[in-house]
Amino acid sequence: MFAKILIVEDTPDSRNLLHFLFTSKGLTVITAADGNEGLYLAKAEKPDLIIADFMMPDMNGAELIERIRTEAEIGDIPIVIYTAYSPEDVEPAIQAGASKIFYKPFDLDNLIDYVLQVAESANER
């Protein structure tokens, strides 16, 4: 599997955990420590999927989605948001075009399964 995913997470431990999980599944993983870096890397790397924390400094997950959705070359990339916030709080991410929301604490197996499904469909394109 050669799909490329971008993880946008401001907490190093969480970022490193997700990086390890997905590289161990054969995915190419790039990481960003905040929304600004995530936007830059999304434009530069054109990943098959973006996984982003909802609450980050400078640019939250909803703002990141809004910015990505306005970019012609990357606007259709699936974006997964994960959060400890309530569905009402993350409504802006849904409105901005999040492909999927995972609420913490979430089952890592469900996240991995979803990401692998997206990666498989990316490989078929």
H helix count then E strand count, the chain: 5, 5
Alpha carbon 79 to chain centroid, angstroms: 5
Per-residue pLDDT at 2 exceeds 70: no
Tell whether the model's pLDDT for residue 5 goes beyond 60: yes
Q: CATH number of 4-124: 3.30.930.10, 3.30.420.40, 3.40.50.10800, 3.40.50.2300?
A: 3.40.50.2300
Residue 13 has which token pair?
Answer: 């431990």
The structure's pTM equals 0.93
d(CA 25, CA 116): 8
Say what the pLDDT of residue 38 is. Answer: 97
Distance, in Å, from the CA atom of 96 to the CA atom of 54, rounded to the nearest integer, reads 12
Instruction: Report domain extents, the chain.
Output: 4-124
Q: How does pLDDT run across 30-89, given as a tens digit for each residue?
A: 999 999 999 999 999 999 999 999 999 889 999 999 999 999 999 999 999 999 899 899
Q: What is the pLDDT of residue 125?
A: 61
Cβ-count burial 49-67 (b if 16+ within 10 Å, e if not): bbbbbbebeebbbbbbbbb
